[in-house]
């Protein structure tokens, strides 16, 4: 996984701040592969229904960029208790839990 420990801590702290203590965050995409370089930060965020909106996403990004340098971050929401999209199912197979 190509995230530094302080970046993982910042992501988890920002998720708790924006989505509450039960938010679950997983990394997917190129940052999971240690042999690759660069790339944005692709995150799956498991949230409660109603939190998968631009307001919560903005809170998360503001909280995150207060802790680390700004960069491209893509969020994919999975709503607890709802069936995930086909894309979410596909990327979740290789996603890494950030804890």
pLDDT in tens, the chain (99 residues): 889 999 999 999 999 999 999 999 999 998 998 888 878 999 999 999 999 999 999 999 999 999 999 989 999 999 999 999 999 999 988 999 997
Q: What is the pTM of this model?
A: 0.91
Structure-token pair, residue 16: 């708790």
**Measured distance CA(42)–CA(57) in Å, rounded:** 13
Domains (range + CATH), the chain: 5-97 (3.30.460.10)
How many Cβ atoms sit within 10 Å of the Cβ of residue 90? 11
pLDDT at 51: 92
Q: How far is 30 from 57, CA to CA, in rounded Å?
A: 21
Under 8 Å between Cβ of 64 and 10: yes
pLDDT score recorded for residue 44? 96
pLDDT at 9: 96
**Which among 36, 18, 10, 17 has a CA at the least distance from the CA of 94?**
36
CA–CA dist 57, 62 (Å, integer): 9
pLDDT score at 7:
95
Predicted local distance difference test score (pLDDT) of residue 99? 75
């Amino acid at each position: 996984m190509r995230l530094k420990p302080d970046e993982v801590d910042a992501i988890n702290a920002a998720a708790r701040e924006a989505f509450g203590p039960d938010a679950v965050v997983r990394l997917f995409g190129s940052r999971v592969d240690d042999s690759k370089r660069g790339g944005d930060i692709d995150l799956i965020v498991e949230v409660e229904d109603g939190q998968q909106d631009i307001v919560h996403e903005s809170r998360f990004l503001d909280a995150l960029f207060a802790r680390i340098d700004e960069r491209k971050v893509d969020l994919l929401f999975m709503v607890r208790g709802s069936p995930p999209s086909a894309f979410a199912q596909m990327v979740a197979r290789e996603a890494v839990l950030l804890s």
